[in-house]
Chains A and B, each alone.
Chain A
Amino acid sequence: GAVVSQHPSRVICKSGTSVKIECRSLDFQATTMFWYRQFPKQSLMLMATSNEGSKATYEQGVEKDKFLINHASLTLSTLTVTSAHPEDSSFYICSAKRQGAESPLHFGNGTRLTVT
């Protein structure tokens, strides 16, 4: 089955630093990738949609200058949390849409970010 790899699975960083999270589709080309955020005991909220080779589309309330998304190839999208603060501590999870026919979204295993 299709596999989406997300790295790192856990990261702890100091306030003010930046963290990069990678999302890779391992055995298919992903024209579109989605980034979600999940606070403890809450639902997954869509942050942004990224299409390969174009700028990401951010959901209302998500700061595009803080959460930088790059989708430079059909197999890799990155989310960079810039100048992280403790309130950015969350579970970030990506999903990928296979190019071509409609298919279920495949999710990465998520990244648990803790900002101290």
Chain B
Amino acid sequence: AQKVTQAQTEISVVEKEDVTLDCVYETRDTTYYLFWYKQPPSGELVFLIRRNSFDEQNEISGRYSWNFQKSTSSFNFTITASQVVDSAVYFCALSRRSGYALNFGKGTSLLVTP
């Protein structure tokens, strides 16, 4: 069985602060994929990143960065210099293979205030 835990239900930061969203996963599969999605108030899911289990390199995309640690089964997401537009619910998800159904965590609601 697969499971994704996002222990932080809500986070509130002031603009320009850095914030890290935690994601811990459980799986018995040796091959799997991890995802992060952003869900703004309008509801659509915005794809942020996909990482397969064989690629443990950290990734940076602008103000976003991801830290994948297989040893601790974590795939944390950091937003540097947060902005009000970053306010949304962020979901971490896991699938056996890319293109298969995703198991979502419960999401972390991020509020960035001016």
Q: Which of B44, B45, B47, B100 has the most CB of A within 10 A?
A: B45
Closest 8 CB pairs of A and B: A102-B98, A97-B99, A109-B44, A107-B45, A43-B106, A110-B43, A44-B104, A43-B104
On B, residues with C-beta under 8 Å from A are 35, 37, 42-45, 47, 50, 91, 95, 97-107, 109
Whether the pair A34, B101 counts as a contact (CB closer than 8 A) is yes
* Chain A contacts for B42, CB-based, 8 A: 109
- For B46, the closest partner residue in chain A by CB is A107
* Chain A contacts for B91, CB-based, 8 A: 43-44
Whether the pair A105, B43 counts as a contact (CB closer than 8 A) is no
Question: Which chain A residues in 19-44 approach chain B with CB under 8 Å?
Answer: 32, 34, 41-44
On A, residues with C-beta under 8 Å from B are 32, 34, 41-46, 49, 91, 93, 95, 97-98, 102-110, 112
Question: Taking the nearest CB of chain A, how far is it from the CB of B33, in angstroms?
Answer: 8
- For B47, the closest partner residue in chain A by CB is A104
Question: Taking the nearest CB of chain A, how far is it from the CB of B24, in angstroms?
Answer: 15
Of A42, A45, A93, A102, the residue contacting B99 (CB under 8 A) is A102
Are A112 and B43 CB-contacts (below 8 A) given A42-B106, A43-B107?
yes
- For A32, the closest partner residue in chain B by CB is B99
- For B44, the closest partner residue in chain A by CB is A109
* Chain B contacts for A43, CB-based, 8 A: 91, 104-107
* Chain A contacts for B99, CB-based, 8 A: 32, 97-98, 102-105
Whether the pair A93, B45 counts as a contact (CB closer than 8 A) is yes
Whether the pair B101, A109 counts as a contact (CB closer than 8 A) is no
